[in-house]
Chain A
């Protein structure tokens, strides 16, 4: 069965610093990959996704992620953190590319940004 591991339940950075949130998945077949963000008391919002094609994916709010098949990773980065980036981030995979497959989520990483 598919699984998603997010290294670090909590990441703290200073405003303007690089943001790096790690995500590894387990699958013998490359899945579809997603990053979602959840602000307090809100639902999840899609940041970016990888399906096929270019392995470097650009998303909203200056975030990007790179799919590395050899490392089974899909790490999320942002060159310069803003205070408004403080939120919980979830990496997710869609299994087996079958219709209606539910997302399998990692346990999330809380990003704190200090001034």
Chain B
């Protein structure tokens, strides 16, 4: 069974630019979570998508947005990039919605904002 995949693996952008990150969940998983792992801040919850809808978001500004496609893959968009957006962005997928189910993580996309 293929795991969660993310693309690209690395990305370098400048302040003010926009970026799109992609995530493909494990086959059969309909829920996708996005997390930001910034240096010194640990993992912070960004967004949760389930069955094509945004169901919950963390404490991040609206310039962080995304969507989920009919095949359950997901995109994370970040507009007007700021230096502090430099981080590892992790996507996780889950079977069903139960919060005791294991979240399977992808390898992440490393974003550097200059």
Contact = CB atoms under 8 A, between A and B. Distances in A.
Contacts, number: 67
B26 to A, nearest CB: 12
Given A45-B105, A103-B103, 8 more contacts: A32-B99, A43-B106, A49-B100, A49-B102, A99-B97, A100-B97, A105-B35, A107-B40
Interface of A: 32, 34, 36, 41-46, 49, 51, 90, 92, 94-108
A26 B99 CA distance: 17
A44 B105 contact: yes
Interface magnitude class on chain B: 20 to 34
7 contacts: A42-B107, A43-B90, A94-B100, A100-B31, A100-B48, A105-B42, A107-B40
Interface string B9-53: 000000000000000000000010101000011111100101000
Contact of B99 (A36, A43, A94, A105): A94
Interface of B: 4, 31, 33, 35, 40-45, 48, 50, 55-56, 58, 90, 92, 97-100, 102-108
B99 A100 contact: yes
Interface centre among A41, A43, A94, A104 (most CB of B within 10 A): A43
A33 B4 CA distance: 22
Given A41-B107, A43-B90, A43-B105, A104 B45 contact: yes
Contacts of B100: 32, 49, 51, 94, 97
A107 B45 contact: no
A43 B45 contact: no
A104 B103 CA distance: 12
B16 to A, nearest CB: 28
Contact of B42 (A42, A94, A102, A106): A106
Given A41-B107, A100-B31, A102-B58, A46 B98 contact: no
A90 B43 contact: yes
Top 7 closest pairs, chain A to chain B, by CB:
A43-B105, A102-B45, A99-B97, A107-B42, A94-B99, A101-B99, A105-B43
